[in-house]
Structures are given as structure tokens and as C-alpha cells.
């Protein structure tokens, strides 16, 4: 399976359950490149709006809404998450421990995994 990195990022992102969040690192790890978290950010940045990706559910390892600035208005991202029931420990920080979702734990994403034998 040799799809573009970005495409795989979109697929994983689209798979984030409602009311849950995940991190750049976890997405990267799920794709087989634990050290390419930056690429996830790069991919999301250039992600077409047509895909309707729930990118607001992607936060950094601290649970901080690092991408809030890319949502038109910074608070838009936080509002969306609150509406999904996600609680915040700070104005820009979600309760990651309580709502984090690890793509690698979801069996339905097996096809995306890139485990090197």
C-alpha cells in the first residue's frame, strides 16, 4: 500500500470518533512513522476543506489546540470540541487523558498500518 502520506493522514483523521481527540504523534505512529508528527501537521494544513475532516479533533501531545489558528477563528476549534462533550483543562487545552483516542487501537484501520514485518 503506497498511498501519499497525506492521504493516509486524511483517512485516519476522518476516522476519529465523535467526541474524541487524538494527537499528531499517535497518527504518525499509526502510519508507521513515529517521528514524522510534523508531517501530519503539514498534511492537515494542506488538507482540502471538501473532505470535511474533523481536524479539530487533532491536538498536540499536550492536548493543546495547536491548530486552532487555522480554523478561521481560534475559538472555533474549542467550541466544536465542547459541543462534542470534550472537556477542557484550559481555554486551549483539552482533557487529553480522558478523551484521547489512539488510531493504533482501532482494528478497522488495519489497512492503513505500515508494520515492517
Which residues in this chain contact DNA in the complex, by CB under 7 A?
5-6, 23-25, 28, 33-42, 44-47, 53, 55-56, 58, 60-62, 66-67, 69-71, 77
Closer CB to DNA, 25 or 109, in the complex:
25
Closer CB to DNA, 28 or 112, in the complex:
28
Closer CB to DNA, 17 or 102, in the complex:
102
Q: How far is the CB of 32 from DNA (least distance, A)?
A: 9
Q: How far is the CB of 12 from DNA (least distance, A)?
A: 13
**Cα-Cα end-to-end distance for the chain:** 14
Q: Is 5 helix (H, G, I), strand (E, B) or coil?
A: helix
Measured between alpha carbons, how far is 6 from 40 in angstroms, rounded to an integer?
7
Q: How far is the CB of 44 from DNA (least distance, A)?
A: 3
Amino acid at each position: 500500500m503506497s498511498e501519499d502520506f497525506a492521504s493516509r493522514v486524511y483517512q485516519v483523521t476522518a476516522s476519529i470518533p465523535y467526541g474524541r481527540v487524538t494527537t499528531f504523534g499517535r497518527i504518525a505512529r499509526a502510519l508507521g512513522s513515529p517521528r514524522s508528527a510534523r508531517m501530519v501537521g503539514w498534511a492537515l494544513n494542506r488538507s482540502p476543506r471538501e473532505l470535511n475532516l474533523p481536524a479539530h479533533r487533532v491536538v498536540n501531545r499536550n492536548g493543546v489546540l495547536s491548530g486552532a489558528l487555522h480554523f478561521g477563528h481560534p475559538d472555533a476549534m474549542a467550541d466544536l470540541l465542547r459541543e462534542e462533550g470534550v472537556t477542557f483543562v484550559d481555554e486551549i487545552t483539552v482533557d487529553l487523558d480522558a478523551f484521547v483516542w489512539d488510531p493504533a487501537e482501532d482494528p478497522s484501520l488495519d489497512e492503513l498500518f505500515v508494520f515492517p514485518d
